[in-house]
């Protein structure tokens, strides 16, 4: 799954640490999600979308297979 978290963080002048605190996760978790090494739970994905006031599909896109 691809994501645009880093883009939205930059638009809001927010560090990984600040985002992690607001989401109640670790900075390492935010970093792993941004790098595509870890897919967030549905709950965390929706919290991210709500925080940036956009639909979850705006932040996360499934990779096309084939």
- 19-45 pLDDT per residue, tens: 999 999 999 999 999 999 999 999 999
In a domain, 58, yes or no: no
Chain center to CA of 30: 7
Cα 66 from Cα 34, distance rounded (Å)? 23
In a domain, 66, yes or no: no
What pLDDT was estimated at residue 63? 80
User: Residue 20 sits in which domain range?
Assistant: 2-53
Q: How confident is the model at residue 62 (pLDDT cuts 50, 70, 90)?
A: confident
What pLDDT was estimated at residue 66? 44
In a domain, 64, yes or no: no
Q: Point out the least confidently predicted range of 13-17, 34-38, 62-66.
A: 62-66
In a domain, 32, yes or no: yes
Q: Which two three-digit tokens encode residue 43?
A: 């709950």
Q: Can you give the CATH number for the domain in which 24 is found?
A: 1.10.260.40
**Number of folded domains that form the chain:** 1
In a domain, 61, yes or no: no
In a domain, 12, yes or no: yes
């Amino acid at each position: 799954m691809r994501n645009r978290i880093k883009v939205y963080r930059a638009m809001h002048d927010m560090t990984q640490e600040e985002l992690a605190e607001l989401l109640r996760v670790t900075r390492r978790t935010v970093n792993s999600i941004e790098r595509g090494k870890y897919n967030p739970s549905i709950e965390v994905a929706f919290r991210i979308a709500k925080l940036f006031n956009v639909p979850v599909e705006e932040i996360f896109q499934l990779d096309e297979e084939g």
